C-alpha cells in the first residue's frame, strides 16, 4: 500500500505507550495496534483527529505517501 502509517514513530517521539494513547483517543488496544503496525486499510478522520490531538502533531506527521515500486 502506498500510504504508510508512522504512528509508532510519533508515539516514540512523544514518549507515549499504546495503552496510554488508546485511553486518550478512546480506541481499543487492538485497533490502535493495527494502526501502529501499518495493517489498517482505513482510518476515520475523527480517530486521526483524536490521535493528532493526543500526540500534538499534524496528520502529515503520521501519514506518509510512498509510491509502490513497479515490478519488472
Give the predicted TM-score (pTM) of the model. Answer: 0.86
- Which CATH number is 3-65 given? 1.10.260.40
- Which residue in this structure is represented by grid cell 499504546? 18
Number of residues that this document lists for the chain = 72
CA pseudo-torsion sign 3, 24, 56, 8: negative
Predicted local confidence at residue 70, as pLDDT: 67
Rg (CA), the chain: 13
How does pLDDT run along the chain (72 residues), one tens digit per residue? 689 999 999 999 999 999 999 999 999 999 999 999 999 999 999 999 999 999 999 999 999 998 887 654
What span, in angstroms and rounded, lies between the C-alpha atoms of 56 and 52?
5
Nearest partner of 42 among 58, 63, 21, judged by Cα: 63
Report CA 25 to chain centroid distance, whole Å: 11
Domain boundaries, the chain: 3-65
Amino acid at each position: 500500500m502506498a500510504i504508510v502509517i508512522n504512528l509508532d514513530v510519533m508515539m516514540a517521539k512523544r514518549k507515549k505507550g499504546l495503552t496510554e494513547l488508546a485511553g486518550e483517543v478512546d480506541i481499543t488496544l487492538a485497533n490502535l495496534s493495527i494502526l501502529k503496525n501499518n495493517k489498517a486499510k482505513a482510518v476515520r478522520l475523527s480517530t486521526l483527529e483524536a490521535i493528532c490531538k493526543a500526540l500534538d502533531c499534524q496528520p502529515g506527521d503520521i501519514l506518509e505517501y510512498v509510491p509502490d515500486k513497479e515490478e519488472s
